[in-house]
Amino acid sequence: MNTFEYGAESLTVSKVLAIAAGTLQGVLSDASRSKIKTSEAHVQQIVDENITVYGINTGFGILANTSISAEDTLTLQYKILQSHSVGVGNPIPAEVAKIMLITKVQALAQGFSGAQLTTLERLIWHIDNDVIPVVPEKGSVGASGDLAPLAHLCLPLIGLGEVIWQGKTYATRDVLQQFQLQPIQLGPKEGLALINGTQFILSFAVKAVQRMHYCLEAADIIGAMSLEALTGTKSPFDERLHQLRPFTGNQLVAQRLRTILDDSDIMQSHIDCGRVQDPYSLRCMPQVHGASRTAWLHLKQLTQVELNAVTDNPIIFSANDTISGGNFHGQPLALPLDYCCFAAAEAGNISDRRSYLLLEGKWGLPVLLMNNVGLNSGFMIPQYTTAALVTENKTLCFPASADSIPTSLGQEDHVSMGSISGRKLNTVLDNLEYILAIELMSACQAIEFRRPLKSSAILEAAHSYVRSFVSFAEEDRIFAVDINKIRGMISDFSLVQHVDGWAKQQGIALNGNYPEFQL
């Protein structure tokens, strides 16, 4: 198995996901181990020489001016994990908690946090053995670090809290006994280093970057199929047009649509139909999908910066050179996460409009995409679901980062709420996957009314893949079953991967010369 060296190499979204999936192993290089030990020694010197440094020999937050004796410095670090474990709500997905572990190791391994080598080795043990801490979803305000979630994440280090192992939830001590391991003794500053940071926000950002990428890739394929079913034109995707307004996201989507629709019999069959313009939800896909792509790219770029940042406090350069700053503040990710929330919601809005167009009975399609309506409701009601989900997404578009509530008796008087931004974006993406699934179900139904004409080879490959799971509907049935199957193809990325794999076999590059838009 290939390895990644924590603290010595640059972490990317793809590498984080590979480590979480177990296809890449994270290790500590000799260079990283040396940096970690040096930083640990700096902290011990601070304690030995009684140099006043926040969080090492002082209290936390509003208690920063309260001195802590040398003999109590270790107890202080133990207590900070206990006192800050105040998260509530459902546990976050185990994969997100695992990404939190990975990103925490990367931050600490850079040697500016005063963490012990043994602590990092135990965190890596949790990753490698899939012993994943249970982390409640709510309780972080996204500044002073993701304090509550990170406290829960790190409770297992001291033998407390719960972990998920082999698909079940256990008390940490029970699992440590299974592996004949003891809780570790935290060193000075370690509790603070562990809970100070943005790894909760960052981990939801990593998942959002992955999920939104595949949603936007799917949206182009699905939108193109709807356009084909509605006998729309591809002329609005002309390269010359988009050179006149050269937003990169727009140009990418226009190129993808041209490629996806290339050599379609359906497109050729109505070339002289006399229709002047298509509705915006067909004609403006490059502009709307493209704007969402631009938002996604911004989030990806900033997530990449944060993956390799040191975000705890204080930062230890040496025993006599420490800085108590604000690298823990979540605002740099909170804003783009909120921006992507709007972008993902808009991808759902335009998809719902295309679903509606498919039902109207225009341009040779039967009303509600079924021949015997009246007795059958056809595909009318699935669009109710997209309407509900689109509206729910609109209600989730209030930017969490626009709010701030003081904490710690006013010491922490501006917070980012980025943890809410990250969770909220992933909720919008949940809904978007269903919205796209319903459009795809409807488009697959509609395109069969164009037979014996064939669409492009790429869209026929996509259609065949859907039909291997969901059949054409001659009459009403429980469409929720179909919706969930198709949503699964989007949420597990298999639809896009199937189409991309088929295209590569044919020597077709769907994303052309836009490597920045790759995951």
Q: Where are the alpha helices (DSSP H) in 270-417?
A: 280-283, 285-307, 331-359, 380-395
Does one domain contain both 273 and 394? yes
pLDDT of residue 57: 83
* CATH code, 125: 1.10.275.10
pLDDT of residue 70: 74
**What would the mean pLDDT of 314-323 be, rounded to a whole number?**
95
Does one domain contain both 193 and 212? no
**What would the mean pLDDT of 286-308 be, rounded to a whole number?**
98
Q: State how far the alpha carbon of 29 is from the alpha carbons of 32, 35, 121, 284, 504, in Å.
A: 5, 10, 12, 50, 37
Dihedral, 5, 7, 8, 14 alpha carbons, nearest 10: 60
Residue 202 lies in a domain: no
Does one domain contain both 109 and 226? no
Please, which pLDDT band fits residue 270 given cuts at 50, 70 and 90?
A: very high
Whether residue 105 is predicted with pLDDT greater than 80 in this model: the reply is: yes
Please, which pLDDT band fits residue 55 given cuts at 50, 70 and 90?
A: confident
Beta bridge partners of 165: 168
Residue with more model confidence, 265 or 272: 265
Domain that residue 447 falls in: 207-311+326-517
Does one domain contain both 156 and 178? yes
In the set 54, 214, 434, 514, the catalytic residue is 54
Whether residue 61 is predicted with pLDDT greater than 90 in this model: the reply is: no
Please, which pLDDT band fits residue 62 given cuts at 50, 70 and 90?
A: low
Does one domain contain both 99 and 36? yes
Give the rounded percent of residues in the chain with a pLDDT score beyond 90.
90
Single out the residue in 172, 197, 222 at which a domain terminates: 197
Does one domain contain both 221 and 168? no
d(CA 372, CA 153): 56
Residue 106 lies in a domain: yes
* CATH code, 361: 1.20.200.10
Single out the residue in 197, 216, 238 at which a domain terminates: 197
Residue 319 lies in a domain: no
Could you tell me the pTM of the whole model? 0.97
Residue 320 lies in a domain: no
Q: State how far the alpha carbon of 128 is from the alpha carbons of 132, 245, 410, in Å.
A: 10, 48, 40
Query: Among 56-65, 186-195, 363-372, 429-438, which is the least confidently predicted range?
Result: 56-65
**What would the mean pLDDT of 328-350 be, rounded to a whole number?**
98
Single out the residue in 147, 168, 197 at which a domain terminates: 197
Give the rounded percent of residues in the chain with a pLDDT score beyond 70.
99
Does one domain contain both 193 and 211? no
Does one domain contain both 169 and 129? yes
Does one domain contain both 148 and 288? no
Does one domain contain both 150 and 297? no
Residue 316 lies in a domain: no
Active site residue 6: no
